[in-house]
Amino acid sequence: MLLTLSILATLACIFIFLAYSFISLRSREKQVEKKENAIDSNYHHVVDDALSKERKILDDATQEADQIITGAQYLTHNSKEEVHDAIRSLVADIQKEGATIAHTFTSEYTNSLNTLSGQSLAQFQTIMTTLESGLKKQIQDFHQSLLPQVEKELQEYKKARMQQIDAAVVTIVQKASQEIFNKSLPLADHQNIVIESLEKAKKEGVFD
Amino acid sequence: METIDLSDFFITKAEANAFSQHLTKIFDTIYTAHFDLEKSLMQELGMQKKEALIKLLRENKVQDSSIPALQEFLKKIQDSIATLPLVTLTIAFEPTNETLKAFSQWFLFTLKKQVIFDIHVDTSLVAGATITANGKFKDYSLKALFEKTIEEKPPIQQQTATPTLHQSTEHVTLGR
């Protein structure tokens, strides 16, 4: 009985201990949850602050950039206008200067040409006169010295050619007359002449 | 050696060679079985020459039935052909067979001997002939006479007109 009581007491103690431990753990869990909630709330607060600051910085930067771009565009437009004006002015100046130079050059060139052509014509007339008198002299020299020599050589050449032609004619006449005589002679006459040749050969002792 | 008239069989050198070759063929078949002289002669020489050869055999009293006598006579003919003198004739026209016979007859009647002709044709000779016999050459053609006659012709008169008026320098102008 006593043992039963002691067991029961032990079990009661264990049960109490377990209950106490459970309550204690529960209490701690609640404390941890509280801390967690506090930390979470603090975290969100910090993040929200950071985000709001970031947005503000971005807005400020965007506004500043817009102002800068607007200023730059204005400056660029003005610069372009100024450059265009300067170029237009420069082109007009160059055109004006070019026209002046061209006019001056044309005048000078025309004057020079006129002068030169006058001089050339005079020189050409002089040269032609000299050439004419030179040619007359050469022709006279030719008639006096070279022409007789040329005529003499021409006569010799004609003579040589006539001799060549003469020789050629002799050959042609000879061949033609030989051919004609040969063809015009009857066979019997040919035969008789050969027999006469044989008679002559016999007399001259060809067959002895 | 007794001469045999072979003028019925050949006149020129080429004909003599051909006749000699035919005789050699007959000679080669003379001892074969069933040898028939007339048939063999007909085959090799033709009708005309066959008759002439048979006539020649009879004139020379050769028995055509005696093979040794026939053989001896054919040999004699071939020896005669080899000893015939060669006469080279260059003439100015194409000879007919009758012309060649006339030349051959001239030798037979005038010199009493048969010759073999080696005929050449050269129309530049005009007429006549050149003859080569016994190593001698003679020109009896009219070529030389023709050439001499042409060369002795009167010279061609040359007209040598000399110019008298030349270009005058009086009228030479240059430029404008």
For B118-171, how does the pLDDT look when each residue is reduced to its tens digit (9 = 90+)? 999 999 999 999 999 999 999 999 988 888 887 776 555 555 555 555 555 555
**Of A131, A170, A207, which has the smallest distance from its Cβ to B134's Cβ?**
A207
Q: What is the pLDDT of residues A7-31, one digit of tens each?
A: 999 999 898 989 998 999 999 999 9
Chain A residues closer than 8 Å to B134 by CB: 206-208
ipTM of the prediction: 0.79
Chain B residues closer than 8 Å to A197 by CB: 128-129, 131, 140-141
Residue to substitute from A174, A175, A177, A208, interface B, most B β-carbons within 10 A: A174
The answer to whether the Cα torsion of B110, B115, B119, B124 is positive or negative is negative
DSSP codes joined into one string, A145-198: IIHHHHHHHHHHHHHHHHHHHHHHHHHHHHHHHHHHHHHHS-HHHHHHHHHHHH
Question: Which residues, numbered 116 to 145 in chain B, qualify as contacts with chain A under a Cβ-Cβ cut-off of 8 Å?
Answer: 123-129, 131, 133-134, 136, 138, 140-143
Interchain CB distance below 8 Å, A182 and B166: no
Q: Is the pLDDT of residue B70 over 70?
A: yes
Q: What is the overall mean pLDDT for chain B?
A: 85
Instruction: Classify residue B118 by its DSSP letter.
Output: E
Q: Which of B101, B118, B120 is nearest to A195 (CA)?
A: B101
Q: Are B135 and B120 in contact (CB under 8 A)?
A: no
Question: Which residues, numbered 23 to 82 in chain B, qualify as contacts with chain A under a Cβ-Cβ cut-off of 8 Å?
Answer: none
